[in-house]
A and B are shown apart, each in its own frame.
Chain A
Amino acid sequence: MLNNITMGQYYPVDSKVHRLDPRVKLILTIVFIVTVFMARTFLGYAVILGFVWLTSRLANVPFRMLLRGLKPLRLIIILTFLLNLFFTTGETVWVEFWGIRITQEGFMQAAFYSLRLIFLVIGTSLLTLTTSPVALSDGIEILLSPLKVIHFPAHELAMMMTIALRFIPTLLEETDKIMKAQMARGADFESGNLLSRAKAMVPLLVPLFVSAFRRAGDLAMAMESRCYHGGEGRTRLRVLKITRNDWIACGAVAALLALIILEGIIF
Chain B
Amino acid sequence: MHSDTRVQLNDVSYSYEEQATPALSGVSAVIQPGEFVAVLGHNGSGKSTMAKLLNALYVPTEGNVLVCGYDTREEKYVWEIRQRAGMIFQNPDNQIVATVVKEDVAFGLENLGVPTEEMLPRIESALSAVRMSKYADKAPHLLSGGQKQRVAIAGILAMEPSVIIADEATAMLDPSGRKEVLDTIRTLNRQKGITVVWITHFMEEAAQADRVLVVTDGQIRLEGTPAEVFDRVDEMREMHLDVPHMTALAGELRAEGMPLKPGILTVDEFVEEVERLCPLKSAT
Contact = CB atoms under 8 A, between A and B. Distances in A.
B113 interface: yes
A236 B93 CA distance: 23
Interface residues on A, range: 20 to 34
Interface in A19-52: none
Contacts of A115: none
A238 B100 CA distance: 12
B26 interface: no
B47 interface: no
Contact of A227 (B112, B123, B142): B112
Given A5-B142, A163-B97, A166-B140, A225 B111 contact: no
A225 B159 CA distance: 11
A218 B95 contact: yes
A222 interface: yes
A1 interface: yes
B83 A3 contact: no
A29 B63 CA distance: 59
Q: How large is the interface on B (under 10, 10 to 19, 20 to 34, 35 or more residues)?
A: 35 or more
A222 B79 CA distance: 14
A225 B112 contact: no
Contacts of B138: 3
A102 B99 CA distance: 53
Interface in A73-116: none
B83 A227 contact: yes
B253 interface: no
Contacts of B139: 3-5, 169
A234 B100 contact: no
A237 B109 CA distance: 9
Given A169-B139, A221-B89, A222-B89, A227 B95 contact: no
Contact of A166 (B91, B98, B112): B98
Nearest to A216: B94
A259 interface: no
Contacts of A4: 99-100, 139
Contacts of A198: none
A225 B98 contact: no
A173 B94 CA distance: 14
Nearest to B82: A227
Given A3-B100, A224-B57, A227-B159, A235 B114 contact: yes
A218 B94 contact: yes
A218 B52 CA distance: 12
A219 B97 CA distance: 8
Given A226-B156, A235-B116, A173 B141 contact: yes
A235 B97 contact: no
B89 A235 contact: no
Q: Which of B91, B94, B95 has the most CB of A within 10 A?
A: B94
Interface of B: 52, 55, 57, 79, 82-83, 86-87, 89, 91, 93-100, 102-103, 106-116, 119-120, 123, 137-142, 155-156, 159
